[in-house]
Amino acid sequence: MDLIKSKIEHKVLEKEGYAIHYFISGDKSKETIVFLHPAFADHRCFDKQIDLFSKNYQVVTVDLLGHGLSQVGKAKVKIDSSAEHIEEIFKSAGIKSAHLVGVSMGSLIAQCFALKYPERILSLTVLGGYSINKENKELAKAQRKEIFKWLFKMIFSMDAFRKYVASVSLIDKVEQVRFLESASLFTRKSFIVMSGLGNIIKQRENVQQTYPLLILAGEKDLALVLKTSAEWHKEAQGSRFYVIEKAGHCANMDNSAKFNEVLLNFIQFG
């Protein structure tokens, strides 16, 4: 059964040797919300957000480079070029500013975009992410360990790799299947562009946050993610922090009702 009732326009940003696919729904005369997906998945991770937010906003979802329909092709750039891709989408769609919502890797891309184009940001929501402006040795160590697991599984079977990622990203079995479907187009070649994430995370001093910031974490996510999110909230003056119950890393899928409620309240009232 199709989850989405809203009319969606499928757009393509043509680049040299590759293309970025994005999707627009909702009211173009209203404020825009841009949703950026986690690693390995694609825009379909936000299927349970489209209809609700399309009622009173213009909604944009994107398949980031190497994910979904935005295949690597002959691209000479990596995932850290996503900020520039999003800026081109803004220009093409006539978007002056937007609320950015990023999940996991998508939250890193969203921050990178906000860093480069702060005038474009109405608000920033981060789920299952961390600040890209601060080095975190404990988190980096945990990520290296997890990447080793990914590579080991990927070498033997991409299906086994995708199933593993789905199992650690969500607690709901039905949502794990949906995540698995959204990760079906992520290939071994896609890993080539992922190294660009290292160019996004740097120690930066005196970064000015000029927009409302909401930091979210799933109740059942890793303890380190919850700890890092809470610490970031304490350091980011004026930020909001909320833990979504009955949800894992991709809380917008595990508990979409609560995620949607919290996000809508934040966007409307700050």
Task: Tell me if 17 is assigned to some domain.
Answer: yes
- Domain count for the chain: 1
Specify the CATH number for the domain of residue 76. Answer: 3.40.50.1820
Task: Tell me if 1 is assigned to some domain.
Answer: no
Cα four-point dihedral sign 257, 261, 262, 267: positive
Provide the pLDDT for residue 148: 66
State pLDDT tens for residues 225-263. 999 999 999 999 999 999 999 999 999 999 999 999 999
Residue 204 belongs to domain spanning:
8-269
Task: Tell me if 3 is assigned to some domain.
Answer: no
State pLDDT tens for residues 100-121. 999 999 999 999 999 999 999 9
Task: Tell me if 111 is assigned to some domain.
Answer: yes
Residues 90, 98 contacting (CB under 8 angstroms): yes
Task: Tell me if 142 is assigned to some domain.
Answer: yes
Strands 58-63 and 18-26: antiparallel
Q: What is the Cα–Cα distance from 11 to 106, expressed in whole angstroms?
A: 19
CA angle 80, 178, 140 (to 5 degrees): 40
Provide the pLDDT for residue 1: 42
Three-state DSSP class for 209? coil
Task: Tell me if 163 is assigned to some domain.
Answer: yes
Task: Tell me if 105 is assigned to some domain.
Answer: yes
Per-run averaged pLDDT (10 residues), the chain, 270 residues: 85 98 97 98 97 97 98 97 98 98 97 97 97 82 71 81 94 97 95 92 87 98 94 95 98 98 95
Per the listing, tokens 């929501």 go with 125
Q: How many CB atoms lie within 10 A of CB 227?
A: 13
Residues 235, 145 contacting (CB under 8 angstroms): no
Provide the pLDDT for residue 2: 66
Provide the pLDDT for residue 145: 72
**Model confidence pTM above 0.85:** yes
Q: What is the Cα–Cα distance from 132 to 115, expressed in whole angstroms?
A: 10
Q: What is the Cα–Cα distance from 232 to 236, expressed in whole angstroms?
A: 6
